Amino acid sequence: MADPLLDFLSDKLPPDVTKRGSDSATAASAYLSRLTSLSFNDIVNNEPAALKSSHYSVNLSLQSLASRSYQGFIASSEQLSTIPSSLDKLNDSINDLKSHLPALESRLADFSKNYHKSSPILQERNRKHTLARTFPKLLDILELPTLLQSATTSSNPSLALDIHSHVRRLYQLYPNVAIIQSVTNECDALLQVLNTQLLTTLRGPLKLPTAIKTIGYLKRTSPDIAPGEEIWGSIFLVARLSFLNSLFQALDPLRELADAEREEWAKSQTESNGDGPAKKPKTTGHQTERFLKRWIEVFREQSFAIVTMYRAVFPPSGSAGANLASAYMAPQTPITPNIKRGSVTGADVDGSDLDSPSPLVTFVPHLITLLTSTLRNYLPVISDGSARESLLTQMLYAAGSLGRLGGDFGMILATGLLGVESGGSEDLIGGDAEGGEWADVMQKHRVLAERLEELATGKGIRTPSVG
């Protein structure tokens, strides 16, 4: 609203005070309104002093402000002087940016065209990023063959088989990954080395706990080799037979001496069969006796250990297995080499549901064949009756040991399986065949056993007479 007094005095006041809407005009209008509210005496007497006081206060405030902020005023003045040049530079930069916008837009279009979601470059980048993120896991997978080799070298089959099982699981999950395929092939090759080590263990000195563990490890290393237990039993017996042959080969020095005596004995037998008079053999068979004594000792220990260990590692299971075991493992039942593998008591006609017979059916006769062939070759060379009796007694003990497992071969010796070779050696052995000697040894052993039993029961002890 216009102030009439201000309009009246507009000619006497500065233009900025009378300008409509300005701060000065508003302040002037407020002061004129205050003046009109005062009396004439107040205006004449008091107002000049009040104006003078206000003027003085304002001057002090301006002086204090200038004293405190003169540096800010100077800096502001300097900055204000650079504003025009800065605005010119900003304008030039904006124009330069506008000139580069088409090229930038073209580059952005090319980038979006080349680096879309399914672009090969981004796929390769993602592959490398995934490789960097999964590198520790890949390193663990690549170290599996080294760990398997270390476990194999340190004779830790359990750890080696666990590692190989882990590798096989990885292969089943990722069969098309090249790294998994390479690691699997390398671990399979190392597993064959472990398999060879296990078979070597079976062919060396062996105890029952080690045998059970080794067969268990072999079943895990070759799970697809056979559905039944018979093949593992055959492998076990073949390995133990190899160990037995190695022990026999360790007796080669004694065997060579025995072969020399045997050749000399055979030569004397040939000369006695000619036209001339019979000659007494020049050798007594002492070296042959040493060889046979040691050979029979090894045979007795190892045959008993092999069969006992086999029965512990591969116990018969099921009714068919129990019937078969009772058929050839019953005590005091002679085993002959004529047993057929396919003959099982109570078998079906088609044979589809039959359990395969135990490998012991042919293994024990093979051991007995080794024994009888060795006795045929070397026992006739020994002419000393006491030495022959000692060897036959040793064989009796061997037959008893194996007989407790169902492999008593005493009847085979008694029925002439050790018969005298043609050529007439009756004069050298006292006119008695080996079967007769065997029967005499068995009779003496039986008499001795009866006497020991009488002594144990007290029947053979004489009580001293009371004088």
pLDDT digits (tens, 9 = 90+) for 127-161: 888 888 888 888 999 999 999 999 988 888 889 99
| Domain boundaries of the chain, sorted by first residue | 1-46, 143-221, 234-342+355-457
Kindly list the distances between the CA atom of residue 356 and the CA atoms of 229, 235, 352, 363, in Å, as whole numbers in the listed order: 9, 15, 10, 15
Q: What is the mean pLDDT of residues 437-445?
A: 70
From CA 414, how far away is CA 98, in angstroms rounded? Answer: 121
pLDDT at 378: 86
Average pLDDT over residues 441-465: 67
Q: What is the pLDDT of residue 465?
A: 47
- The string of pLDDT tens digits covering residues 323-380 is 433 433 433 333 333 333 333 333 343 444 445 667 888 888 888 888 888 888 888 8
Question: What is the mean predicted confidence (pLDDT) over 175-194?
Answer: 91
Q: 118-122, 244-248, 282-286, 459-463: which range is least confident on average?
A: 459-463
Q: Answer yes or no: is pLDDT of 276 > 70.
A: no
pLDDT value at 80 more than 50: yes
Per-residue pLDDT at 182: 93
Q: How confident is the model over 94-121, as pLDDT tens digits?
A: 999 999 899 999 988 888 888 777 788 8
pLDDT at 187 over 80: yes
The CB density around residue 22, as the number of other CB atoms within 10 Å, is 13
| Number of neighbouring beta carbons within 10 Å of residue 186 | 17
Q: What is the mean pLDDT of residues 452-461?
A: 69
In order, the DSSP letters of 207-247 are -HHHHHHHHHHHHHH-TTS-SSSHHHHHHHHHHHHHHHHHH
Q: What is the mean pLDDT of residues 77-100?
A: 88
Q: Report residue 60 as tokens.
A: 């002090």
Q: Comparing 328 with 448, which gets the higher pLDDT?
A: 448
User: Given this model, what pLDDT does residue 438 score?
Assistant: 66
The pLDDT of residue 143 is: 92
Tell me if 186 sits within 8 A of 145, measured CB to CB.
yes
Q: Is the pLDDT of residue 15 over 60?
A: yes
pLDDT of 420 strictly over 80: no
The mean pLDDT of 276-284, rounded to a whole number, is 57
Half-sphere exposure of 401 (CA within 13 A, CB side): 20
Distance CA 48, CA 92 (A): 58
- For residue 330, the model assigns a pLDDT of 38
In angstroms, the CA 94 to CA 91 distance is 5
- Can you give the pLDDT at residue 42? 80
Q: Which of 240, 241, 247, 161 is nearest to 208 (CA)?
A: 240
- 200 pLDDT exceeds 50? yes
Provide the b/e sequence for 218-249 (b: ≥16 CB within 10 Å): bebbbeeeeeebbebbbbbbebbbebbeeebe
Q: How confident is the model at residue 452 (pLDDT cuts 50, 70, 90)?
A: confident
Question: How many other C-beta atoms lie within 10 A of the C-beta of residue 119?
Answer: 12
Q: Over 60: is that where the pLDDT of 281 sits?
A: no
Inter-residue contact 49 to 27 (CB < 8 Å):
no
Let me know how many helices (H) and strands (E) the chain has, helices first: 19, 0
Confidence grade of residue 272 (pLDDT, cut at 50, 70, 90): low
Q: What is the structure's pLDDT at 124?
A: 86
For 234-259, write each residue's pLDDT tens digit.
889 999 999 999 999 999 999 999 88
The H-assigned helical ranges of 273-423 are: 286-313, 318-328, 360-378, 385-403, 410-414
More confident residue, 14 or 50: 50
- Which range among 105-114, 312-321, 388-397, 424-433 has the greatest average pLDDT? 105-114
- Confidence at 432, pLDDT banded by 50, 70, 90: very low
Residue with tokens 């037998």: 269
